[in-house]
Amino acid sequence: MRCPACGAENARRTRVCEQCGQTLPMRMRRFGRWLQLGLLGILLGIGAGYLAQLYPRISKRRQVDALLQQALATAQQIKSTGLRDEALMRVAEAQALAGQDEAAQAAIQQIKLPVNRSQAWLRIAAALARTAWHQSSASAPYQLHAAVSAARQIENIDLRAYALADIAKWQARVGETAASERTFQEALASAHSISDASWRCKLLIEIAKAQKQAKQPAAAKQTFQEALAAAQQIGDSERRIEAIVQIASAQAQVKLYADARTTAQQIKDASVRAKALVKIATIQDIRGASRPAIKQVLREAQKAVQQIPAPHQRVEHLVTIANVQRAIGEEEVAKQTLQEALAVARQIRDADRRDEALSLIANEQATARQFEAALATARQIKDPDQRAEPLAQIVRWQAGARQFDAALAAARQIVNDEQRARALAHIAHYQAFFGLLEPALATARQIKDADIRARALWDISREHASRGQFDIALSIAQQIDSKEWRSWALSSIARKQAELHQIDAALRTVNSIPKNLQKVEALTYIVEKLLGVPPEFEILDEE
């Protein structure tokens, strides 16, 4: 070490200069070295922390890329054109969500049917728009712009208008008001260019619903009026009336209840008017409307029913009215309505129509868990095959009420082989739902129809997978003879494993799926879970 006073060289770690006796600054030198090492350590720690955060992202990205390549290769192996197109649609959607735009476009170019290519772009546009809702305020507009670009690739003008309306709704929800209005105008322009009045009406209905969900009620009402004008231009009377019913239902879905009732009241045919009003009441119940409001619509429907000359049509509407009455807690009123329906049914002279009417009543009684009344009504049905349907429904609801012995006894009364098989499948489903694995499997094995038996085993497997009981679910899935249903069962298990972030287990399950379409479906679902894509959901009005 050099002495700062005389410049003489001294041995390392010497405290005093041997030449002049000056104290050497050893401690400061050592402190500086330790300071340098400390700063280096801090920098290395920060770098290690950053790399620790970055590595999982890189690893996940590599895993996503590998899974998408596997899904694409699997899709390309499918021989059926329709199924291969469906698989490629799923792959392209997942690639777009992963930001692989060029790969998604290449996958879509491999789709053979033009309508399926349009469907693929529609799915991509819808997925990008939906996931933008969960993006940050900075990135959401860019993702929605990508969704609009995807929608403009749709060759089918009907689907393009539908996609644009859906995107505009999400743009409004993330605060992109000006962009939303432009996109709605583009959607309306596409709809207006359609010459077929029926299709134009359907698209205007969808655009109006999206406008209301985007909190643009005045625009929605205007578009509904345009839809009504288009409906009036439909030449076929039945299709014209059905279009008006769809408009009334759509208005109710977006909580324009007064407008919906006004639309329904325009229908001259009493039977169709009753149908529209009951639909409105049903939607009001689902959307949480007040009970007095629902009862008012039901009273209007009952007035329309009284004007229907055909007794079998009166029975049909009385049964649907009873269903809504029961849903809103008017149990006794619903029973009275069903008694009225029974009285009308007995007046029907045609035997087949009388049996159909009695079948409707028995189904509703079974749904209401009025099992004795339902069985009594079913016994009045003369045709054994017609009687089989309500008996199967009785079995279904008895099993849902855990009355398994009664359900099995009712199932034995069914002479129609297919309906008896479906009834046993209902019992097996509820036995599995209530955790009765062995009885469920025993019931499923009683089913003679191979396809229905396979579906029942799939249902049991899926129920256990939903509870995280994957070993049991896999064991049941492997018992399914049908490759199709076994593939759907294994796909359901893999999806649930992915939802619980058991990715390695999900991939092992995927590798055991025999059918390529279901394998692609499971692989792309796993990719979506790795990307954090939210599930599909519907925007409801918040008013």
What's the one-letter identity of residue 475? S
- What burial letters (b/e) apply to 342-377, b meaning 16+ CB within 10 Å? bebbeebeeeebbbbbbbbbbbbbbbbebbebbbeb
Q: What is the pLDDT of residues 329-377, one digit of tens each?
A: 999 999 999 999 999 999 999 999 999 999 999 999 999 999 999 999 9
Residue 35 has pLDDT above 70, yes or no: no
pLDDT of residue 24: 66
Confidence of residue 50 (pLDDT cuts 50, 70, 90): low
- What burial letters (b/e) apply to 248-284, b meaning 16+ CB within 10 Å? bbbbbbbbbbebbbebbeebeebbbbbbbbbbbbbbb
The CA dihedral of 529, 530, 532, 538, to the nearest 10 degrees, is: -20
Once rounded to an integer, what is the mean pLDDT over residues 52-63? 64
Distance, CA of 150 to CA of 114 (rounded, Å): 15
pTM for this predicted structure: 0.80
Residue 134 has pLDDT above 80, yes or no: no
Once rounded to an integer, what is the mean pLDDT over residues 238-246? 92
Number of H helices, E strands in the chain: 26, 0
Q: What is the pLDDT of residues 429-452, one digit of tens each?
A: 999 999 999 999 999 999 999 999
pLDDT of residue 224: 96
pLDDT of residue 395: 94
CB 348 within 8 Å of CB 312: yes
Distance, CA of 405 to CA of 274 (rounded, Å): 39
pLDDT of residue 46: 61
Phi and psi dihedrals of 99, rounded to 5?
Answer: 80, 15
Is residue 15 classed as helix, strand or coil in its secondary structure? coil
Q: What string of DSSP letters covers 195-227?
A: --HHHHHHHHHHHHHHHHHTT-HHHHHHHHHHH
Once rounded to an integer, what is the mean pLDDT over residues 142-166? 91
pLDDT of residue 3: 77
Phi and psi dihedrals of 255, rounded to 5?
Answer: 70, 25
Distance, CA of 491 to CA of 509 (rounded, Å): 8
What is the CA angle 138-139-143, rounded to 5?
145
Q: What is the mean pLDDT of the chain?
A: 89
Confidence of residue 493 (pLDDT cuts 50, 70, 90): very high
Give the rounded percent of residues in the chain with a pLDDT score beyond 70.
89
